[in-house]
Structure 1
């Protein structure tokens, strides 16, 4: 890290105490002096107004771990957080590229995604497990729990769980459930998927131009109990535009979907229902993501499984398997966001268990947190004043950045 360290007296708005605590730990204060937590930072630097980056080293159950925490003051009106995507749900890009394209001053990789395939001849989509909301607009819903990628979740966690920031500029944990329907002259059929790489058995999924050009074949593979289960052979696809069916097919297709067109993919019983439709029939599709908590709409949300709630680690978290991890959390009633990424290089690759991630996020100052994609995906980047492009600040476990499905970006207009 560079030498631009933070002094203890600097103010950053309503969450100044939480951010100044990072500086207090590196300035030699006792852990108790760090009101935002007790994580022992070796160094802290200012990335931009209201955005700090801290580096820490600690000894965990499997050895020495080096990590980085990007902290954003959401109470500062010049600071905001958003979802970074490659432009399509079924696509991947490096975190540095996502950050630079959006003008973010910092970012970490986001949700787990369809990175590989157990099904011969089926292309991995690169699409994430959980819901996505960007700039207040829903991009996708969650895949069935049985079809997710990632380590075991705590009891009660689901792929619908998200962390995000609402229109009130406060971060929160929530779950987002798809509510949608296909209405025809014969009645209404429920939607069980929206721009997602896997559908439940018997389901119908809607795909829009946000999906991208990747084949929709993966949607009919796997089952309600196994991600690796065979692909269904009972399938049907219907394209709807301006309230009318414009095409039908016996199998999921590929290629870009035109704006204003919705492609419906059915499997098993869902395929049987769709097969009753013919070109020219009336059909209307509607969908939205319903939050289980507050009515405040999300400005951004990304999938991740909760590990910390109300300052306490969740019961049932893995305490044995250590790995390079990424996490996101918040404190100060949602006014301060914490983004964590670990080193994954050979010199410091002990990693943390999921339970240890919860503890580290608590020590950083978070009251609530989620685990994000880790391993070779773990990447944290920043772009300081005068830099033409983002720099990778941690040491990814691969030889280069891994392209990922999405990222959490931090923005500041007060450099």
Structure 2
């Protein structure tokens, strides 16, 4: 039996890069044409994300387990091993509309993967991101540096493209498929090194900002350089080392902006900038490597554990918002992708505690919170077999986001 306990834990603040260049005019981001949003600037620069939206304050609960009613339940098979279910649930706080994808990863021909539109910094509607993977269904993914670099705040590993972005520590609560093909949720720290230079402490890979005092690696998969956005506006004691063909070709105290990356960059802050200046003069041979703990096949991070080891970890029961979550049922191995609509009369949204409660009720022993607010989007095949947005995004249209959890299906041969 699952333990329904709530642990008091501090919430991790969402650290957004300050002073970074806006997305408009950044060639690594879409500028219209193929996008479906009626107002591209508004889509790229939404007023708020779920990370900093003040939100609606929920009415106090009248009891620990308020009476609820469930109605208007509909369900259909999206693909072999994938089922979509929608229902309305009402309690003393008001109604919500929930959307659930139940996925059996053991289904032959079925895969769960990380998905993005291309460069780490590039944003797009969830439907376009999933179309790139020829996905049958999926949901939006990680929180991202909204209005600045556009890059995800945490980690992302794609089955085909490998580890695309990550942090040594600080935003590593992730959903992943392990080396044996089993779904799980846990902490996935990154290890990155500059070979033969142990004093160079690499803290970030293609991150929206370099940890103060640390070193970030930026590869061609990042997109075009973002200048002092990746140092949060810091201009003093920063250093950019350009490595091409395995050798340092430049080592300078200024950061480049809007430039394609050939090879990779090392960007240091504070003491690490001084070490880069001292240890990597022009002409030095340099190699770097990076990986995630336990080498999962795919991974994507969220901000907080909702449920961990069967115990509810969420503590906020006051702020209502649209929510997206992913969970794993340890008994069946099923993956649960949940979106709760919000900010409408039909659906008030959920608090974090309510989201965790629902994930437990659905069977999740592990669950992590993904980006919410206007980012919350579920895409899948509808009853007619056409790919469509299945929930009601609170912005009134599909927000442009950094990445997604994708589900693909290819009929096995034979």
TM over 0.5: yes
1:264 match: 266
Which one of 126, 144, 158 corresponds to residue 150 of structure 2?
Answer: 126
1:413 aligns with 2:410: yes
Contact 2:70 2:88 (8 Å CA) reproduced = no
- Corresponding residue for residue 181 of structure 1: 193
Aligned residues: 341
| Residues 39 and 201 (structure 1), Cα distance of their counterparts in 2 relative to 1, 3 Å cut | farther
Residue deviations 1:9-34 (CA, integer Å, cap 9, x gap): xxxxxxxxxxxxxxxxxxxxxxxxxx
CA-atom RMSD in angstroms: 2.3
Shift of 1:248: 2.4
* Change in CA separation of 1:95 and 1:105 when aligned onto 2, cut-off 3 Å: same
What is the TM-score normalised by the length of structure 1?
Answer: 0.77
| Deviation of 1:407 (Å) | 0.4
Structure 1 residues 330 and 183 mapped into 2: Cα distance closer, same or farther (>3 Å)? closer
Q: Is the 8 A contact 2:103 2:335 kept in 1?
A: yes
Query: Match for 2:256 among 253, 256, 259?
Result: 253
Partner of 1:382: 380
What's the counterpart of residue 233 of structure 1?
Answer: 236
Q: Say if 2:225 and 2:260, in contact at 8 Å, map to a contact too.
A: no
Deviations for 1:363-407, whole angstroms, at most 9, x for unmatched residues?
22211111110000000011258756x201100001210011110
Aligned to 1:343: 341
TM-score (norm 2): 0.77
Mapped contact 1:108–1:380 kept (Cα < 8 A): yes
CA contact (8 A) 1:58 1:66 kept: yes
* C-alpha separation in 1, matches of 2:379 and 2:86: 13
Q: Name the residue aligned to 1:274.
A: 276
Q: CA 1:40–1:232 in structure 2 vs 1: closer, same or farther (change >3 Å)? A: farther
Residue of structure 1 equivalent to 2:216: 205
Aligned ranges for residues 19-58 of structure 1 at < 5 Å?
42-58=73-89
The answer for unaligned runs of 5 or more in structure 2 is 1-68
Partner of 1:359: 357
Partner of 2:53: none
1:49-198 correspondence to structure 2 within 5 Å: 49-60=80-91, 62-116=93-147, 124-135=148-159, 137-142=162-167, 145=170, 159-183=171-195, 188-198=199-209
User: Does the CA contact (< 8 Å) of 1:90 and 1:126 recur in 2?
Assistant: yes
Moved over 3 A (4+): 38-41, 255-259, 384-388
Deviation for aligned residue 1:302: 0.5
CA distance in 2, matches of 1:43, 1:93: 29
Q: Is the 8 A contact 1:133 1:139 kept in 2?
A: yes
| Structure 1 residues 318 and 187, CA gap change in structure 2 (3 angstroms) | closer
